[in-house]
Amino acid sequence: MGMLTFDAIVVGAGPAGVAAALTMARGGLKVIIIERGRFAGAKNLFGGVFYTHALADVLPDYWERKPPFERPVTEQGYWMLSPDSVIRVMHKSERYRKEPADAYTVLRARFDPWFAEQAVEAGALLITRTTVTRLLKDERGRVIGVDTDRPEGSVYAPVVIIAEGVNNLLTRQAGLIASDLPPTHVALAVKEYVNLPAKELQARFGLSGPREGVAIDVFGDVTLGLPGTGFIYTNQSGISIGVGMLLSEFITHRLRPYEVLERFKNHPVVRPYLEGGEVREYGAHLIPETGYDRMPKLAGDGVMVAGDAAGMVDALHREGTNLAITAGKAAGETALAAHQQGDFSAAFLSRYRRTLEDSFVLKDMKQYRRMTDFLESSPHFMGTYVNLLNEAALRYFTAHGIPKREMEHDIIKMVRERRSFTGVAWDMLKLMRAMRG
């Protein structure tokens, strides 16, 4: 390849990397995106809900470019699952029925190639099937390029944007984060894509047509009451179903992820939705639950990091790709400014972080900074309360021929047996702190 030089190098063609490349290419920079998969998205998997606001920021006319969305999310909410029951809190509204919608279900192996194509159209060079093996630094430790696994595959640029994903090997090599994520700060999620004819799927989920879709997050028995969630999302003609838990929980309880998922699929409440469906794909992915306080430094000399590699996830609201796109755009704009000033120092690039501090990305992450610790320190939280709610509902909805006042006492007594009054108060206090920041 010889001495290949660009204005900017982006590692990884996921949402963060593509948003960065798109922004820089439109700003007139000569940009290369290096992707290890056979195509953008080949290695990517997520639950399935994509929020459009961040996409509209980088690509205002995205709707005319026909993004490969599955279904708009017109109904969403929570299922609180006990071993034999469920409480459903779902929100459906006519007000979700406008397009482009705020949220769509998405399959990444279809969406990511489309998004990358937009960056290519803007002038970025996308090189696939190429793994970046290390960062290249000068004698003062400044990042000046990357090495790839292609013969003579070194590429040089005054700024490198790392969007490598949750396995943050380069972020570590850059010295932006001191140590690996421990298993307590990363979730392992497994998912299946279950094929179902669109008509059948619509009938089962009460959808009027292809312009309606459901996103359900599931708590409680789906993870055997352990900290984590399950999900059921409707695609055009298939269901994305999965479950994610802190990796440490799989280890502690010696659980096999695919068995946890199979158990969820077999739940009497869930099974009818999947009946006759064909599993077309199985996959697994890590989700960084790094949290605001353990995020890497976002910039160094000649380098910035965005997306999962930087731990940009809001697990509570199952957001990630929108944080990644917003961060990628901010990193791209910072690179443009750096080129204008001819200054690629960590000091100059730190304006990237300041931009994110003023946006929802770091504001939300800061607000929920205690969430992972809360779940970790209250492992009983999901199981105990979800089961309690289901039992309380069973008593409430059943006529026993006993006075209602006694029924109310029964419920309160049941709560007390499971968790002391001070225990409940303490849990609620901790939850409030985790929510309010």
Partner 1 sequence: MGNNNHMTAPVAEVSMPHVNLDDLIVCLKYYVDEEVAHIRIKDQAICATCDPKPCLAFCPAHVFETDRQGRMMVSYQACVECGSCRIACPFHNVDWRLPRGGYGVAYKYG
In the range 165-204, which residues lie near partner 1 by CB under 8 A?
166-167, 169, 180-183, 186, 188, 190, 192-193
- Identify which of residues 343 and 406 has a Cβ nearer to partner 1 in the complex: 406
Q: Which among 54-62, 274-282, 299-307, 324-332 is the span making contact with partner 1, rule CB under 8 A?
A: 274-282
Give me the least distance between CB of 68 and partner 1, in Å please. Answer: 11
Residue 89 binds partner 1 (CB under 8 A): no
d(CA 47, CA 353): 27
Q: How many CA atoms lie within 13 A of 168 on its CB side?
A: 32
Give me the least distance between CB of 377 and partner 1, in Å please. Answer: 17
Give the bridge partners for 303, in sequence order: 160, 300
- Identify which of residues 46 and 51 has a Cβ nearer to partner 1 in the complex: 46
Q: Scanning residues 346 to 385, which ones bind partner 1 (CB under 8 A)?
A: 383-384
Beta-carbon neighbour count of residue 290 at 10 Å? 23
Q: Scanning residues 121 to 140, which ones bind partner 1 (CB under 8 A)?
A: 128-131
Q: 332: which 2 tokens?
A: 């791209």
Query: Residue 9, Cα to own-chain centre: how many angstroms?
Result: 24
Give me the least distance between CB of 28 and partner 1, in Å please. Answer: 28
d(CA 316, CA 150): 40
Give me the least distance between CB of 286 and partner 1, in Å please. Answer: 5
Give me the least distance between CB of 262 and partner 1, in Å please. Answer: 5
Give me the least distance between CB of 437 and partner 1, in Å please. Answer: 27
Residue 413 binds partner 1 (CB under 8 A): no
- Sequence length of the chain is 437
- Identify which of residues 158 and 277 has a Cβ nearer to partner 1 in the complex: 277
> Which of residues 112, 289, 301, 364 is near partner 1 by CB under 8 A?
112
Residue 36 binds partner 1 (CB under 8 A): yes
- Provide the mask over 42-71, with x wherever binding to partner 1 is found by CB under 8 A and - wherever it is not: xxxxx-------------------------
Give me the least distance between CB of 259 and partner 1, in Å please. Answer: 4
Give me the least distance between CB of 60 and partner 1, in Å please. Answer: 26
Q: 227: which 2 tokens?
A: 């900290």
| Number of residues located near partner 1, criterion CB under 8 A | 71
Q: Scanning residues 288 to 307, which ones bind partner 1 (CB under 8 A)?
A: none
- Identify which of residues 5 and 167 has a Cβ nearer to partner 1 in the complex: 167
Q: Scanning residues 201 to 260, which ones bind partner 1 (CB under 8 A)?
A: 224-226, 238, 247-248, 250-251, 253-260
> Which of residues 99, 138, 200, 262 is near partner 1 by CB under 8 A?
262
> Which of residues 418, 424, 427, 431 is near partner 1 by CB under 8 A?
418
- Identify which of residues 199 and 400 has a Cβ nearer to partner 1 in the complex: 400
> Which of residues 58, 109, 207, 434 is near partner 1 by CB under 8 A?
109
Q: Which among 32-40, 139-147, 313-321, 361-369 is the span making contact with partner 1, rule CB under 8 A?
A: 32-40
Q: Which of 87, 54, 59, 90 is nearest to 74 (CA)?
A: 90
Q: What are phi and psi of 133, to 5 degrees?
A: -95, -30
Give me the least distance between CB of 380 and partner 1, in Å please. Answer: 9
Q: Scanning residues 310 to 339, which ones bind partner 1 (CB under 8 A)?
A: none
Q: Which of 284, 86, 120 is nearest to 191 (CA)?
A: 284
